[in-house]
Amino acid sequence: MIWNVARTALIALRRDRGAMVLSFVLPLAFFTIFAVIFGKENNSTPKVTLIVVDQDKSEGSESLVRALEQDGSLWVHRTPVTQKGVPTGPEYTAATAEAAVKAGDAPVALIIPAGFGQHPIAFGPDSGGSTLELLNDQSDTIAPQIVVGLLQKAAITSMPSAMADEGMKYADKYVGGFTPAQKAKMHEDLDALRKEEASGKIGVGSRRSGSGTDSADAGIIAVNARAVVGETKKSPMISFYAAAIGVMFLLFTASGSAGALLDEAESGTLERVLSTRVTMTKLMAGKLVFNTLLAFVQLVAMFLWGWAVFKLDFFSHLPGFAVMGICTAFAVAAFGMLLASLCHTRAQLGALSTLVILIMSSIGGSMFPRFLMPESMQKAGLLTINAWAIDGFTKVFWRDLPVTALWPQVSVLLGIGVVLFVVARRIARRWECA
Amino acid sequence: MTASAQRIGVGPALEVDALVKRFGDLTAVDRVSLKVRAGECLGLLGPNGAGKSTLIRSMVGRVIQDSGRVMVMGKAAGSTEARMALGWVPQELSIYPRISCRENLGSFGRYYGLKGHALKEAIAWCLHWAALEEKQNEVAKTLSGGMKRRLNMAAGMMHRPKVVLFDEPTVGVDPQSRNRIFEMIEALRDAGTAIVYTTHYMEEAERLCDRIAIIDHGRIIAEGTKEELVEGTFGRRSQVLARFAGGKDEIEAWAQRHGGRVTQETAEFTIEQAGEIAPLLEDATKAGLELEDLSLRRPNLESVFLHLTGRELRD
């Protein structure tokens, strides 16, 4: 009898495609996504984009920059580049580099000050070495640490002569002084070492690291890190999570709300409405308007909650919020309409929306920040509404950028909304005349 | 001049002309022609799958016909003018369950382009017509079955159409509510509305309909008043219905010998004189058939339907 009960349940499961998808496809999809992001087999920690401003232009600073450029963990940009990596415009200055970090073009910028080549490294806090400046974006807490570590490694591998020179100065000072003959011999050896560095036989390129996971303690190169984005924020990540979680649940709400179309089709109300003066296009447009407003109100509620409970600076960002909120709400509403038009029943819609929304949310940055993901997955994330919405809200609440800076996100979200709605409308022709 | 003749207009309010609709190899509606005049109620009877729903949906303009045409008040079905002249009460409860009666009527009124004072008047008229005034603020899904049916009907009347299609409006309704629905339809008909009424209940057709069209396999197989249909099918003959115990083949053979037929285990004959019954039974006894039940009756609409389609109306 127990077997009979189990058998009946098995037959019911086989007939329920939605349950099958949720039982098998969704876990496999999630397993794959998490494995790609965090798994070892992928072996590709996301590269950090680093802007470098070399104000020194010395042999030593050039060696250091070349060492950083050849590190597999960094994308080093001395000039602004296009999306395909083609350099555009003049080299960064300290001001433009800071602006670029603020704009989100890179999480970190390194300023090598004039005079660095004269005294690049120091074996102690009082030794008077040059101090590099690291400008960083607080929303990415990992990138500055990676850069500082790699900087120390680059110094060791790219400037052995400087290290030897500094070492001898220490020895001269604390051991009791070298004789003139010893000093002459040391300078002769250092010159030879510098020649070998210049020829590339040692130093840069001779010991390249591909993993970028080894770190160096701060010490031989002094670095002064300064947050240029988010340094005054009371609750650094609240706006990110309000947008990230908000968009994910907006997607669920929108698909559920659009499901009313399926209820009406099933009950015959849809056909009756279409027998009045209401056309299918007007009907769907009406539902799109409602679902957009519903989603926007949800976003307002979420950000107000963030303001009331987590001190999110909501009211000084109202214009940007309104623009991003409307565009995001429009895109998710159109997405819900598309899912509803693709399905024949509520059960189908439930299964499909759960599958698609969770996958979109995971690769789109609603579950964990996209900068933690491998490069390929970061690019895949750009196919999701989540990624564009989060980027837009981040620009507003984190980077304090003006509304005009939102044009890429606004364009993409509106474009997504229009395309999805047009496709949904075409699919909905099945509900029109037979 | 009879009462029905007085209220029925001259020109057709609804006209179906040689309508054909196919779904793949299936011809759902096969060269159907019908006319319904103002103040007239046409009953559309047919077994399940006969093509009634497709025909009704063609009248609404929800079906793209393969050939033929449907005109509502002189305008092609589906056009804006035709939509505004036509009211449709589907068999399913096609209302919004989570909003009140008044809100439902308001929604459908707006879908028909009503607003302001006209909308308020239409809501008030429909609530009164459907006897739902006291329930106007109750959510639709909490109403009784009969009230939901009446609300379903009222939603199709908001724009005061000149032609109304009722698709089995009394399904699942108790006798008291059914009577109320009859009164609503009679009031519409008497006010000059052209009505097409589909039903599985013969007594409804007999009470409400001025004419009846019987549809089967997509074709109109008979059309006329009740009297015309009975006269045309049976003439002045009466029906003999007999049930026997015995082999099915023997019963069918016996029925065929006497020009009758067996439908749903009942042998059916038509006779002109009562004296024709005795020879029939005598032959049945000789064939070894044991009589269980015998009845003689004047043919009615049900007899016509059964005779023409070979099926009970409620099959």
Q: pLDDT tens for residues B96-151?
A: 998 999 999 999 999 999 999 999 999 999 999 999 999 999 999 999 989 999 99
Question: Which residue, among A424, A432, A434, has the nearest Cα to A270 in the 3D structure?
Answer: A432
pLDDT above 80 for A39: no
Q: Exposure pattern of B151-166 as b/e (b: 16+ CB <10 Å)?
A: bbbbbbbbbbbbbbbb
Q: Does B59 touch chain A (CB under 8 A)?
A: no
User: Which CATH number do you get for residue B261?
Assistant: 3.30.70.100
Question: How far apart, in whole angstroms, are the C-alpha atoms of residue A275 and residue B80?
Answer: 9
Which residues does B244 contact at the CB level (< 8 Å), separation at least 6? B251, B267, B284, B289, B290, B291, B292
Looking at the fold, whether B78 and B119 belong to one and the same domain comes out as: yes
Print the domain residue range for B82. 3-230
CB distance B230 to B303 below 8 Å? yes
CA distance A253 to chain B (A): 18
Domain total in chain B: 2
Judgement on whether residues B100 and B32 belong to the same structural domain of the protein = yes
β-bridge pairing B26-37 and B41-45:
unpaired
Chain B: give the shortest CA distance to residue A276, in Å. 6
pLDDT in tens, B36-93: 999 999 999 988 888 898 999 999 998 988 999 999 999 999 899 999 999 999 988 9
- Whether A36 and A362 have beta carbons less than 8 Å apart is answered as no
Q: Do A132 and A61 meet the contact criterion of CB atoms below 8 Å apart?
A: no
Look-up of token digits 């250091």: A64
Distance CA(A365)–CA(A369), nearest Å, equals 5
Whether the complex's predicted ipTM surpasses the cut of 0.90: no
Q: Which residues contact B223 (CB under 8 A, 6 or more apart)?
A: B34, B211, B212, B213, B214, B229
Residue of B62, B91, B96 lying closest to A275 (CB–CB): B62
Say if B303 falls within a structural domain: no
**B223 and B114 in a common domain:** yes
Same-domain status, B93 and B223: yes
Instruction: State how far the Cα of A19 lies from the Cα of A256, in Å rounded to an integer.
Output: 17
CA distances from B46 to A375, B37, B178 (A): 66, 21, 20
pLDDT at A214: 34
Looking at the structure, tell me whether residues B73 and B190 fall in a common domain. yes
pTM, 2 dp: 0.74
pLDDT tens-digit map of A148-195? 888 888 877 777 766 777 677 767 766 667 777 777 777 777 777 666
CB contact under 8 Å between B113 and A273, yes or no, is no
CB proximity A434 to B under 8 Å: yes
Which residues in chain A are closer than 8 Å to B97, comparing Cβ atoms? 267
Clarify whether residues B96 and B143 are in a common domain.
yes
CB contacts, 8 Å: A272 with chain B: 88, 90, 94, 155-156
Q: Which of A267, A277, A434 sits opposite B111 (nearest CB)?
A: A277
Q: With both helix axes pointing from N to C terminus, report the angle between A238-258 and A260-267 in degrees, rounded to the nearest 10.
A: 10
Alpha carbon of residue A3 to chain centroid: 51
In a domain, B309, yes or no: no
Per cent of chain A over pLDDT 90 is 23
Contact B181, B152 (CB under 8 A): no
* Residues of chain B contacting A276 with CB distance shorter than 8 Å: 83, 108, 111-112
| Residue whose C-alpha is closest to residue B16's, from B85, B68, B78 | B68
Shortest CA gap A258–chain B (Å): 15
> Which long-range contacts does A163-171 make (Cβ < 8 Å, 24+ apart)?
A163/A121, A163/A220, A164/A189, A164/A190, A164/A193, A165/A190, A166/A121, A166/A122, A166/A123, A166/A127, A166/A129, A167/A123, A170/A123, A170/A127
All domains of chain A in start order, with CATH:
48-168+178-229 (3.40.1710), 236-431 (no CATH)
**Which of B230, B262, B285 is at the close of a domain?**
B230
| A53 conformational bin, left if phi > 0, alpha if psi -120 to 50, beta if neither | beta
Same domain, B188 and B254: no
Residue A338: what residue type? L
Tokens 């996100």, residue located: A409
Partners of B94 on chain A (C-beta within 8 Å) are: 267-269, 271-272
Final residue in a domain of this structure, among B178, B202, B230 = B230
State how far the alpha carbon of B115 is from the alpha carbons of A38, B81, B87, B152, in Å: 59, 18, 18, 20
**Hey, which residues 252-271 in chain A have their CB within 8 Å of chain B?**
267-269, 271
Q: Identify whether residues B75 and B186 lie together within a single domain.
A: yes
Using a CB-CB cut-off of 8 Å, the residues of chain B touching A275 are: 60-62, 83, 86, 88
For residues B294 and B176, membership in a common domain is answered with no
Of all residues in chain B, the percent with pLDDT exceeding 70 is 96
**What Å distances lie between residue B61 and A50, B7, B25, B76, B231, CA to CA?**
65, 27, 22, 8, 35
Does a structural domain hold residue B313? no
Residue B224: inside a domain:
yes
On the question of pLDDT at B312 being above 90, the answer is no
For residue A387, how far is the Cα from the chain centroid?
8
Are B242 and B207 in a shared domain?
no
The residues in B 212-231 lying below 8 A from A, measured between CB atoms, are none
Identify whether B308 is part of a domain: no
Q: Give the domain CATH number at B11.
A: 3.40.50.300
Does B93 touch chain A if contact means CB atoms closer than 8 Å?
yes
| Winning range, highest mean pLDDT, from A15-29, A407-421, B239-253 | A407-421
CA-to-CA distance for A419 and A338, rounded, in angstroms? 10
Instruction: Tell me, yes or no, whether B186 and B213 share the same domain.
Output: yes
The answer to whether the beta carbons of residues A87 and A81 sit under 8 Å apart is yes
Of B64, B90, B112, the CB nearest to A433: B64
Residue B307 lies inside a defined structural domain of this protein: no
Q: Are A196 and A97 in contact (CB under 8 A)?
A: no
Give the minimum alpha-carbon distance from B3 to chain A in angstroms, rounded to a whole number. Answer: 33
* Any domain includes B281: yes
Q: Across A107-116, A182-191, A201-210, B204-213, which has the greatest mean pLDDT?
A: B204-213
| pLDDT level of residue A219 (50, 70, 90 thresholds) | low
Confirm whether B312 is domain-assigned.
Answer: no
Distance, CA of A202 to CA of A196 (rounded, Å): 6
Note whether B180 and B67 are same-domain residues: yes
Cβ of A434 and B23 within 8 Å? yes
CB contact under 8 A, A272 and B156: yes
> Taking the alpha carbons of B8, B9, B15, B18 in that order, is the dihedral positive or negative?
positive
